[in-house]
């Protein structure tokens, strides 16, 4: 099989030591080495819950990525403490256009979520997509790209007609759009989902004991954005987005978060850390490939993919691919 590879760099986040400098609400603050919005909020208000309030007040200064603040920035600290409206999504930025050959279909892998997706056309779902398209007669010569964060991947799949399929995506509850994020609504309105490729069980994981979702105080939860946040709507919580389960887990271990959102497969390699799911906040999800409704080539590819996927399941090849990837997990 001939493969042409292209890589679009994603965002890298890092955690620095907290610079516990004195800050006061209602006054300008100059960012010091090691500061994060969480550490500034904790010092100024006694709670990390105001981090999003600080970001909202200083969006023009900080820019589209709330997780990147620069030393020397002068931030205005809002006067009002207490709960603020929290966005669970990273603000959209214009994705750099991948270098795509115009005559070769492109497959876009979303993020880095092992074992489901990875860079340079790696991952369980990628192998299933390639096998299904090849068996259905679509062809077996593709360009592979990976892009993160998720909102940029959705934009690229819509803007670049050579991209015929993007994957893996968790299908939101498109029959009930109340409470869906802007990203989920975009997927429901502008894309068609394939037949389910793989089923997941998603839960809220904490260290050692299940997190108490009935506590009268906010929970601070980390999610990759890979999973729709609607099931968390009934929880008194602030949800922050990070690019991978591993980064969420690092924050959980460091005490930055009370819990993380993850699926039972992705956390398999981290169970030795003492991760425990909460049975009250556990739901089923399915992974899919998607095609942009306005792209006829993409819609044709999706129809052939569904046919090929069914054939893979009947012949046992789907099971073989899944088993191969799951067996590589620690």
pLDDT at residue 23, rounded to an integer: 54
307 CB-near residues (< 8 Å, 6+ apart): 132, 136
The domains of the chain are located at: 1-85, 94-195+292-327, 199-285
Copy the structure tokens of residue 126. 């990628």
CB crowding 154-188: b at 16 or more within 10 Å, else e: bbbbbebbbbbbbbbbbbbeeeeeeebbebbebbb
Express each pLDDT in 227-266 by its tens digit. 877 677 778 888 888 878 888 888 998 899 999 999 988 8
Q: Do residues 191 and 207 make contact, with C-beta atoms less than 8 angstroms apart?
A: no
CA distance 61 to 178: 32
Taking only Cα atoms into account, the Rg of the chain, rounded to an integer number of angstroms, comes to 21
Residue 197 bridge partners (DSSP): none
3-state secondary structure 163-197: EEEEEEEECCCCCCCCCCCHHHHHHHHHEEECCCC
Can you list the residues of the chain whose pLDDT is less than 70? 1-25, 34, 46-49, 67, 80-103, 119-121, 140, 147-151, 179, 230, 269-273
Place of tokens 């968790």: 170
User: What CATH number does the domain located at 1-85 have?
Assistant: 3.10.350
- What architecture is domain 94-195+292-327? 3-Layer(aba) Sandwich (3.40)
Phi/psi at 277 (nearest 5 deg)? Answer: -80, 155
Q: For residue 272, what is the DSSP state?
A: G
pLDDT at residue 30, rounded to an integer: 85
CA distance 41 to 49: 7
Residue 262 bridge partners (DSSP): 203
Q: Do residues 172 and 230 make contact, with C-beta atoms less than 8 angstroms apart?
A: yes
pLDDT at residue 14, rounded to an integer: 26
Place of tokens 């955690």: 15
CA distance 1 to 199: 28
Express each pLDDT in 69-114 by its tens digit. 888 888 888 875 433 333 444 444 444 544 545 567 888 888 778 8
CA angle 209, 256, 326 (to 5 degrees): 60
Nearest to 54 by CA among 33, 72, 28: 28
Same fold, 1-85 and 199-285: no
CA distance 107 to 130: 9
Largest CA distance in the chain: 66
pLDDT at residue 129, rounded to an integer: 93
User: What CATH number does the domain located at 199-285 have?
Assistant: 3.40.190.10
pLDDT at residue 103, rounded to an integer: 66
240 CB-near residues (< 8 Å, 6+ apart): 88, 220, 221, 222, 223, 257
DSSP 30-77: E--TT--HHHHHHHHHSSGGGHHHHHHHTHHHH-S-TT---TT-EEEP
């Amino acid at each position: 099989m001939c493969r042409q590879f292209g890589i679009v760099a994603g965002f890298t986040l890092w955690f620095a030591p907290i610079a516990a400098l004195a800050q006061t609400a209602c006054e300008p603050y100059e960012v010091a080495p090691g500061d994060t919005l969480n550490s500034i909020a904790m010092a100024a208000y006694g709670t990390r819950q105001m981090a999003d309030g600080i970001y909202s007040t200083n969006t023009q200064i900080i820019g589209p990525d709330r997780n990147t603040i620069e030393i020397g920035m002068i931030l205005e600290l809002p006067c009002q403490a207490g709960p603020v409206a929290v966005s669970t999504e990273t603000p959209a930025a214009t994705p750099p256009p991948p270098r795509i050959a115009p005559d070769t279909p492109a497959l876009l892998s979303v993020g880095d979520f092992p074992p489901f997706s990875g860079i340079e056309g790696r991952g369980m779902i990628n192998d299933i997509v390639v096998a299904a398209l090849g068996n259905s007669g679509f062809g077996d010569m593709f360009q592979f790209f990976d892009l993160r964060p998720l909102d940029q991947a959705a934009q690229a799949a819509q803007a670049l007609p050579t991209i015929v399929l993007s994957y893996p995506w968790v299908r939101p509850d498109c029959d009930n759009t109340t409470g869906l994020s802007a990203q989920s609504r975009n997927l429901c309105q502008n894309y068609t989902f394939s037949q389910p490729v793989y089923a997941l069980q998603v839960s809220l994981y904490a260290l050692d004991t299940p997190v108490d979702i009935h506590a009268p105080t906010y929970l601070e939860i980390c999610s990759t954005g890979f999973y729709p946040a609607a099931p968390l709507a009934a929880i008194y919580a602030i949800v922050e987005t990070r690019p991978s389960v591993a980064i969420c887990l690092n924050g959980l271990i460091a005490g930055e978060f009370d819990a993380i959102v993850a699926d039972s497969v992705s956390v398999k390699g981290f169970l030795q850390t003492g991760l425990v799911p909460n049975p009250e906040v556990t739901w089923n999800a399915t992974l899919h490939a998607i095609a942009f409704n306005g792209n006829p080539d993409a819609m044709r590819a999706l129809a052939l993919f569904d046919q090929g996927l069914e054939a893979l399941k009947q012949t046992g090849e789907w099971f073989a691919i899944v088993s191969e990837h799951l067996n590589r997990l620690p």
